[in-house]
Structure 1
Amino acid sequence: MYTLQVITIGDAVGDIAAGQKVGVKTVAIATGPTDYLMLLDCKPDRIIKQWPEKLEEIEKVFFF
């Protein structure tokens, strides 16, 4: 049997809102046009300032 984990990843308020609307975990990445504080106000499950480069960092961000 498989376990499925769905995560919405986005750099805009609408991305995070869409994930929350369907009940999946959300990761905001503040690399796009949306300000970090605006993304933080959306209350994503995680927020990061840049893409992780190492496998260990990726696991910390996306496996929660």
Structure 2
Amino acid sequence: MNCGIILICSFISPTNEMRHIVREIIEKEDFLEVFVNTPLEVCEKRDLKGIYKRTRSGEIKNFT
């Protein structure tokens, strides 16, 4: 059933295995993967919540 709704979800998926799992869940014609390659320096400059700073200080562990 098509309700005319478009849903955009943003995820960090660093491995092919994770992306493969998502492709298995969502129908192939409904799945569009977009790769964004932003330099770490740019991400840190845009980091309004201070997540990268907290990660560098060791406060956040295993940050992708």
Q: TM-score, normalised by structure 2?
A: 0.33
TM-score when scaled to structure 1?
Answer: 0.33
Structure with a larger share of its residues in strand:
1
